[in-house]
């Protein structure tokens, strides 16, 4: 599946080769508006899996963002859509095959750490893969000891400071979903050392590391977990739309530093 998608996309892109894959999470699709001279390729055109989730467009946008050749993945598929792990990571593998060297991955996440509030931006220091699965097959014993590149993280802090955005740091727990977490699960995740929780990213990052990409990850905190606080998808999308432009600014400032 990946080889035919690579060939089909290479055909559409001509000489253009991305240096960076930028994956956009729920409600963050607006980041693609910053791409200059965009070539838009719907996933279906190149045989990539389409998301069924409201807020996920399902297309690739190739072009330059802050002067850097990027492939923007606008919308992703999730495990809870009953797709195989290989499908969840197909865009990562396609981008790597086209020569991308860096993966900037974003997500919408629920805040667990007490200092996080809706609208906050967090750069990922590490993750907990609690999905119960992996995109790797066979004895692929890859090193995950520094999956979220410390240099890129430092560059992200410089970029955020440059545009006067506060950037938290933390550990992202990736769960299968789609139900939001129970209070007991929230307590468990805190005990395990998670600062934020979501339903994406971890498999993509495993595939990115396997493919030799450097990874920078960002969570946009769309909601927080606490006693008596309900969680709903509309709130997640709305927070993404409101705070998305701020994350876009940080990423625009980061790209030239990669
Ligand atoms: N839990 C899981 N995934 C999420 C959340 C959450 O609270 N918010 C956004 N994505």
Instruction: For residue 239, give the CATH number of its domain.
Output: 3.40.50.1580
Distance CA 152, CA 217 (A): 9
First CA to last CA distance, the chain: 30
Residue pair 93/204 in contact by the 8 Å Cβ criterion: no
Domain range enclosing 192: 2-257
Contacts of 246 (CB under 8 A, 6+ apart): 119, 121, 165
Tracing tokens 């509030």 back to the chain, one arrives at 117
Q: How many domains does the chain have?
A: 1
pLDDT band at 55 (very low <50, low <70, confident <90, very high): low
Residue nearest to atom 2 of ligand 1 (CA): 198
Q: If you take atom 9 of ligand 1, which residue's CA is the nearest one?
A: 109
Report pLDDT digits (tens) over 142-190.
999 999 999 999 999 999 999 999 999 999 999 999 999 999 999 999 9
Probe target for ligand 1 pocket from 26, 80, 198, with the most ligand atoms within 8 Å of CB: 198
If pLDDT is split at 50, 70 and 90, which confidence band does 229 have? confident
- pLDDT-wise least confident of 41-50, 110-119, 164-173, 237-246: 237-246
**For residue range 82-124, what is the model confidence (pLDDT) as tens digits?**
999 999 999 999 999 999 999 999 999 999 999 999 999 999 9
41: which strand partners? 60
The yes-or-no answer on residue 216 being catalytic is: no
Alpha carbon separation from 161 to 95, 120, 135, 242 (Å, rounded): 29, 14, 35, 20
| Closest to 190 (Cα-Cα) out of 145, 143, 224 | 224
Nearest CA to ligand 1 atom 5: 110
Please say if 103 is a catalytic residue.
no
Q: Is 112 in the pocket of ligand 1 (CB under 6 A)?
A: no
**Contact assessment for residue 133 and residue 99, using Cβ atoms and an 8 Å cutoff:** no
Q: Mark residue 27 as left, alpha or beta (left: phi above 0; alpha: psi -120 to 50; beta: remaining).
A: left
Name residue, tokens 């960076």.
20
* Any ligand 1 atom below 6 A from CB of 174: no
Q: Quick check: 221 and 121 in contact, CB under 8 A?
A: yes
pTM: predicted TM-score of the whole model, two decimal places: 0.95
């Amino acid at each position: 599946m990946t080889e035919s998608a690579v060939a089909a996309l290479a055909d559409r892109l001509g000489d253009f080769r991305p240096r960076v894959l930028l994956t956009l999470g729920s409600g963050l699709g607006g980041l693609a508006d910053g791409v200059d001279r965009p070539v838009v390729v719907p996933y279906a055109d190149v045989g990539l899996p389409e998301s069924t989730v409201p807020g996920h467009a399902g297309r690739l946008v190739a072009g330059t963002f802050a002067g850097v050749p990027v492939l923007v993945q606008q919308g992703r598929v999730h495990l809870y859509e009953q797709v195989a792990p290989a499908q969840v990571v197909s865009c990562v593998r396609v981008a790597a095959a086209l020569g991308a060297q860096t993966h900037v991955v974003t997500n919408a996440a629920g805040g667990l750490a007490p200092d996080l509030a809706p609208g906050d931006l967090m750069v990922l220091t590490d993750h907990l893969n609690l999905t119960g699965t992996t995109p790797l097959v066979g004895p692929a014993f890859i090193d995950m000891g520094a999956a979220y590149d410390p240099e890129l993280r430092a560059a992200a802090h410089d970029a955020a400071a440059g545009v006067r955005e506060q950037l938290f740091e933390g550990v992202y727990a990736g769960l299968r979903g789609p139900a939001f977490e129970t209070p007991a699960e929230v307590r468990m995740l805190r005990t395990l050392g998670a600062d934020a929780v979501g339903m994406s990213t971890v498999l993509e990052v495993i595939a990115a590391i396997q493919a030799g990409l450097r990874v920078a990850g960002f969570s946009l905190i769309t909601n927080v977990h606490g006693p008596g606080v309900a969680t709903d998808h509309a709130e997640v999308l709305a927070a993404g739309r409101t705070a998305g432009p701020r994350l876009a600014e940080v990423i625009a400032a980061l790209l030239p530093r990669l």
